[in-house]
Structure 1
C-alpha cells in the first residue's frame, strides 16, 4: 500500500463549511491519471486538484483538475484552494509573493496577498477572456435552467464566455428567480455537451448581498456536477463578458465582489479585478480559503 496525502479545502470563504470545497493532492508526481480519476471520484467533490512539481523555471507546479467523472482543463476554486494550501500549510507565502501553475490552458500565476505577516488572499490571473454568441431559443433555454422566459434579463445578451472553459452566461432579472430555479438536469446536460459548454452560469445585478455587485448560481451536469457552489472560472468568464460586451466600461479599472453559494447553503464571495493592458482586458479572480480536512489515501502500490 502507498499513502497519498490529500486535503479538503473550502475556497472563496473565510469560514469552514462555506464556499466551494476542493480536494487538493499536493504531491501527485507518483500518481497516474487512472489513480487521479479514482481519487476524485472517491472524494466526490466538484473538483480535485493534483499538483506535480514543475521541471520548468517558469512555473512552480503542473496542476491537473478532475471532477468525479472526468478531467477538465481549468478550475478556479481548486486553483485558489491549492494556492492557499501551499501558501499556508507549506509556507510558500513566506518564500515568494507569487506562485505559477502550468495548466492545460497555459500558465496561471497566483499572487499571495499578505497582511500583518499572514496570508490574506490569493489572486489568480486568468487567461485572456473571450465571448461568442450561441444560437438557442430563449424560451427553450429558460426551461432547461428552471426559469420562465420573462425571468431572463433581455437588457444583457446571453453569451458563451471563456477564461479557460466555456460557460453559458444567462442574465436573470432577480435573485429570487435564480434561487428558485430548478434546472432540468438531463436536458441541460445534453444541451451543454452538444455545445462544448462546461457550466451554465446564472447571474443578476439584484445581488442583495452587502458589498457584492452580482449574485450567481452555476450548474455543470456536462462534467458530472449538478450545481457548483462557488465558481472561480465561470465568474472570471462573467467578468470578461461584462467588459467585452460593454456592460462595464473597458476604459477604466473595476474592482468588485460576486456572491454565490447561498442557494445551496455554502455562501462564498469572489474578488474580481478587471483592468486593461496592451488593449486587452485582464481578469483577476481571488479570495480566501480554509483547509478543513487533512488525510491519507491508501492505495495499491509500492
Structure 2
C-alpha cells in the first residue's frame, strides 16, 4: 500500500484569537512526489512545508521544501518556523542548534527557549540587499494605481526592492489607517511584480517608531491566494530596508512587524539583527506557533 503522509496544520506568528499564518506541515515527507506536495498546498490553500532527510554530504540536519498552490518556493519563513516547532514537539530534535537545507540555501535554526505552547524558534536570514526600483517614477505611478493610492498617502521615503531570500517591494505609507484600507487591484499585481523584479508587494507603515514596531501587508505575485497573514521572509527584508532608511537601530534590539490585521488574522513577527563587530550581517526571525488541526489531508 502507498505510504500515508500525515499533515499537521499549525498557525505561525499568531498574536491573538484566530491570528497567525496557517501552515500545513508534513514532518516525514520522505517518498512524497512533487505532485503530492503541490496537492497538499492546493487542498489547504496555504504555503506548505515538507521535511525530508538531509541530502548526503550536506552536513545539514534536514531538508525542507515548500509549495504554494501554484508552484514550489525556494524558502518560506513561517513554514520553516512551524516545521521546526513540530519537530521539537514530536521529540525529533536532539539539540537546539540546527542547519536546514532549502532551495534558497542553508538556514540556521536555534531554539531560544520554551513557552506554554512549545519551543521558541528562530531562523536565520542573510544580510538584506536593498535596491531602488528601475524607472522609479513609472514604477511608483504603477504601484499607486495597483494599490489604489495617491501620492500624498506615501511616506517621504523611497520605494525599494529588498531581499534576504526573495525580493519584496517595500512601499512606505504615511499611516496605518491607509495601510488597513488598501483594496488592491489583484488582477494587476502579477504583471507589475514581473516588471519590477519582485515576488510581492509589501506596503508598510510606522506604528511606534520608538519601540521599533511597524505594520505591513503582503500581496504575493502569483502564489494562488491574494494576501498573506504573516510573511517572515518579507519582514526580514523590511528590517534591512528600515535600517537603510535610518528607522531602526543597528543592534540586536527587537524589531516587531505586525501583519494580518486586515484579514482578521492578527500576526506578529520578531526580527533581531545578528551582528559582526557592531554591523548587521544577517538577522533572526521568529514568533509563536500553535496547533490549528491535527493530522489528515491528502498524501
Give the TM-score normalised by structure 2: 0.90
User: Structure 1 residue 116: deviation in Å?
Assistant: 7.8
Question: Using the alignment, how far apart are the partners of 1:39 and 1:116 within structure 2?
Answer: 29
Aligned to 1:107: 106
Structure 1 residue runs without a partner (length 5+): none
Instruction: From the superposition, tell whether residues 153 and 201 of structure 1 become closer, same or farther in structure 2 (CA, over 3 Å).
Output: same
**CA-to-aligned-CA distance 1:168-187 (integer Å, 9 cap, x gap):** 00000100000000001111
Question: Using the alignment, how far apart are the partners of 1:100 and 1:68 within structure 2?
Answer: 27
Give the SS at the match of 1:5. Answer: coil
Give the SS at the match of 1:39. Answer: helix
1:254·1:275 contact (CA, 8 Å) conserved in 2? no
User: Structure 1 residue 24: deviation in Å?
Assistant: 0.6
Aligned to 2:273: 274
Aligned to 1:228: 228
**CA-to-aligned-CA distance 1:190-228 (integer Å, 9 cap, x gap):** 1112333111111111359x9661111111142323100
Question: Using the alignment, how far apart are the partners of 2:217 and 2:169 within structure 1?
Answer: 12
Aligned to 1:205: 206
Give the SS at the match of 1:223. Answer: coil
**CA-to-aligned-CA distance 1:216-268 (integer Å, 9 cap, x gap):** 11111423231001110000000122223443343x43323221111101101
Give the SS at the match of 2:240. Answer: helix
Q: Paired residue for 1:147, among 117, 128, 149?
A: 149
- The alignment's C-alpha RMSD in Å is 2.3
Structure 2 residue runs without a partner (length 5+): none
Aligned to 2:248: 248
Aligned to 1:186: 187
Between Structure 1 and Structure 2, how many residues are aligned? 293
Aligned to 2:284: 284
Give the SS at the match of 1:234. Answer: helix
Question: Using the alignment, how far apart are the partners of 2:244 and 2:67 within structure 1?
Answer: 29
5 Å matches for 1:29-68?
Answer: 29-45=30-46, 47-54=47-54, 55-56=56-57, 58-68=59-69
